[in-house]
Amino acid sequence: MKPRTLELLSPAKNLEQGIAAIGYGADAVYVGAPRFGAREAASNSFEDVEQLIRYAHRYRAKVFVVVNTIVYEHELEEAERVARWAYNAGADALIVQDMAFLEMDLPPIALHASTQTHNISPEKVKFLQDVGFERVILARELSLQQIADIRKHTNVELEAFVHGALCVSYSGQCYMSEAITGRSANRGACAQPCRSAYDLVDGTGNIILKNKHLLSLKDFNLSRSIRQLADAGICSFKIEGRLKNVDYVKNITALYRKELDAILEERSEYRRASSGKVFLGFTPDAQKSFNRGFTAYFTQKREDSLTGFNTAKATGALVGTVTNVRKLCFEIDAKMPLSNGDGICFISKGGGLVGTNINKVDGRSVFPNRMDGITKGVQIFRNYDHRFAKMLEGCSTERLVDISINFTYTAGRLTMMALDADGFTSKLVVDELFEIAQKPERALQNIDQQLRKSGGGMFEVVRVGVDCQEVPFIPISTLNGYRRMLLESLEAKREASLPEAASSITPNSIPYPEQTLDYSGNVVNSLSRKFYERHGVLQIDEGFELSHVAGAHLMTTKYCLRYELGACLKTAGATKLKEPLFLENNGQRFRLQFDCARCQMVVIRD
């Protein structure tokens, strides 16, 4: 059986972060096009994306261009132009949500179905496979068993998120931002109302919880579940974070690179998706990067404590508890050392997150920039590790591709041939009569030593073969110049290499799993409507962005506030809450509806 590829997929907010992701071990990166990406603040110029594609292809890494918003009628022509540009630039796939792309006359570029297309069932994934998608990005809410079931009924590539921020709503099914602010999540402009604070109010008007972040989930972390995900059928492991900084991209990419490399070393049925070995100059640690605390969500089982009610901001790692407070400092029972310049935070008596910086550490005594709110018994978290950030900035991480060099010299002709691990070759021929070395053994040793140097580039020379009828004497500077030209030629060949074009999608009429689509089908243009009509959908409503349907489900989520509060109606002896329940915030009121049969919660504007 042919080994199955395991791909590490990292975010690229911009060119710098894309290059960093590849350098720290990504097999592929996903990057926003100038328009139509679901992170409006992470768009990129055509020129930067083209440069990133060339760089990635040197390592046989891939670049997926994100155009996963829904597209309005007047934007269809521009969206098609963006898709064509991506193909011409050498992009390896488009990540799309809008089915209009399948009705366009696109060149043969692979299409990946965004998680925004609500991919939660074998039937839906099978449909997407059968209409031509090369890959389907699964909903974050799925368990290992559900993923395995989808794999059992399909053969399309399956991609899963493994790290980063979690949307509380099923992706593509959240209309809360659009309803409140006119900024649509399906258009890349989400205002993130899920990160706001709300009062939880019962049917009698009693405030159960006041000013809490009741919809703000902790961050995803499946670093301990990678083996199970691979065995369940996942081929691509995706890190969220196109709005995060470059340190996050380096650290988290390196963390999952180590996890995947350990699997690849142990398991012959899997193979790596790109070239080069990563030599890390540091030890990655998820706690050192932006996080709101971690959860595995529903991957292994239904977890408790999915939210951080007190804050939607990054808290980082728990350091310890304050044991004594003086005028300018506090003492702490620390589980880890603190340093000058660290950022720390704590939950105040009022329930909010308070942060400050450390000016000085003297043993157990910590001198912060300000002492306001720090009292005995307060738990201190570190949300910025100054030493780790400085170390990461100056670390010597390298990604190197193995090559061998053959050197021959015969009758005034010097020939050098480089062969890399992927079969790329470059050749340098020099017609020059060199002096015969008076000390041939030393000259051979010198040739070997100089040719083994990679010059700080992307290659690691693992073998040098020398074959000379007479050993020439070649100055070191001359040898180095030849080696540099040889490796530059090899690097250019790798950069210019393009993947094989994907097959063009041929329209078909395979039935869609449902015959009606309400506003949650996100149909906002004629091409998308045409697609669903051809696939047997009889009733197609306009998407919420066009219709603003009264009483619409603004969020549909597997996260349940009742369950989070120990008030699940399926649990004997659970806390009693008097329904209906409402979320209130700045004059906005939302009713919570509980679908216990599906274990889902719905948020409706009251």
pLDDT score, position 40: 62
d(CA 485, CA 229): 44
The amino acid at 251: N
CB contact set of 81 (below 8 Å; sequence gap of 6+): none
Residues 100 and 176 in one domain: no
**pLDDT score recorded for residue 42:** 60
Q: Are 256 and 137 part of one and the same domain?
A: yes
530 and 486 within one domain: no
436 within some domain: yes
Q: Looking at the structure, do residues 359 and 489 belong to the same domain, yes or no?
A: no
Q: Are strands 93-96 and 62-67 parallel, antiparallel or unpaired?
A: parallel
Tell me: pLDDT of 285 over 80: yes
What is the rounded distance in angstroms from the CA atom of residue 140 to the CA atom of residue 94? 20
Do 388 and 453 sit in the same domain of this protein?
Answer: no
Say whether both 250 and 114 belong to one domain: yes
Question: What distances in angstroms separate CA 116 from CA 66, 140, 345, 416, one per listed residue?
Answer: 12, 11, 34, 51
CA pair distance 177, 545, nearest whole angstrom: 11
Per the structure, how many domains does the chain have?
4
Same domain as 575, residue 461: no
- Residues 209-220 have pLDDT tens digits of 999 999 999 999
Let me know whether 125 and 192 are in one domain: no
* Residue at which a domain ends, from 462, 496, 530: 496
Whether residue 1 has pLDDT greater than 70: no
Q: Is the pLDDT of residue 453 over 60?
A: yes
What would the pLDDT profile of 11-24 be if each residue is shown by its tens digit? 999 999 999 999 99
Spatial contact of 80 and 94, defined as CB atoms under 8 Å apart? no
Q: What's the gap between Cα 464 and its chain centre?
A: 39
Residue finishing a domain among 394, 419, 444: 394
Q: What is the pLDDT of residues 510-540, one digit of tens each?
A: 999 999 999 999 999 999 999 999 999 999 9
**Residue 9 falls within a domain, yes or no?**
yes
Q: Is the pLDDT of residue 121 over 80?
A: yes
- Pairing state between β 588-595 and 219-221: unpaired
The pLDDT score that the predictor gives to residue 422 is 94
Residue 302 lies in a domain: no
Q: Which of 297, 160, 284, 141 is nearest to 219 (CA)?
A: 297
If you average pLDDT over residues 27-44, what whole number do you get?
Answer: 80
Q: By three-state DSSP, how is residue 543 classified?
A: coil
Same domain, 264 and 367: no
For residue 55, the domain's CATH number is 3.20.20.60
Using the 3D structure, point to which of 360, 394, 428 is the last residue of a domain. 394
CB 200 within 8 A of CB 208: yes
H/E stretch holding 6: strand 4-12
Q: Which DSSP category does 506 fall into?
A: P
In a domain, 44, yes or no: yes
Residue 523: per-residue pLDDT: 98
State the pLDDT at residue 39. Answer: 67
DSSP string, 280-324: -SS---GGGSS-S-EE-TTSSS--S--B-TT-SS---EEEEEEEE
**Mean pLDDT taken over the chain:** 94
Instruction: Kindly state whether residue 308 falls inside one of the protein's structural domains.
Output: no
Q: What is the pLDDT of residue 2?
A: 77
Asked whether the CA dihedral 471, 473, 477, 482 is positive or negative, the reply is negative
Going by C-alpha positions, the residue among 203, 291, 251, 329 that lies closest to residue 17 is: 251
| Amino acid at the residue 204 | T
Which pLDDT band holds residue 580 (cuts at 50, 70, 90)? very high
Which range, of 355-364, 456-465, 539-548, 568-577, averages the lowest pLDDT? 568-577
User: Is residue 296 situated within a structural domain?
Assistant: no
Same structural domain, 156 and 245: yes
Residue identified by tokens 């002709």 is 413
Compute the residue count for the chain.
Answer: 606
The pLDDT confidence band at residue 33, using thresholds 50, 70 and 90, is: confident
- Does pLDDT of 396 surpass 90? no
pLDDT surpasses 60 at 293: yes
Assigned domain for 250 exists: yes
Angle between helix axes 476-496 and 440-451 (nearest 10 degrees) is: 30
Task: Note whether residue 347 is domain-resident.
Answer: yes
Average pLDDT over residues 133-137: 98
Taking residues 402-430, what's their average pLDDT?
95
Residue 226 has pLDDT above 90, yes or no: yes
Q: Name the one residue in this structure whose structure tokens are 């978290």.
A: 381
- Cβ–Cβ contacts within 10 Å for residue 279, how many? 11
Say whether both 17 and 124 belong to one domain.
yes
173 and 160: one domain? no
Closest by alpha carbon to 371, among 390, 382, 362, 358?
A: 358
Q: Which residue segment(s) compose the domain that 8 sits in?
A: 4-166+218-274+283-288
Contact 485, 418 (CB under 8 A): no
CA distance 175 to 524: 14
- If phi > 0 it is left, if psi is from -120 to 50 it is alpha, else beta; for residue 213 that is beta
Give the integer Cα–Cα distance in Å for 382 and 379.
Answer: 10
| pTM for this prediction | 0.94
DSSP state of 503: P
* Interatomic CA distance for residues 605 and 43, integer angstroms: 31
The secondary structure element, H or E, covering residue 23 is: helix 15-23
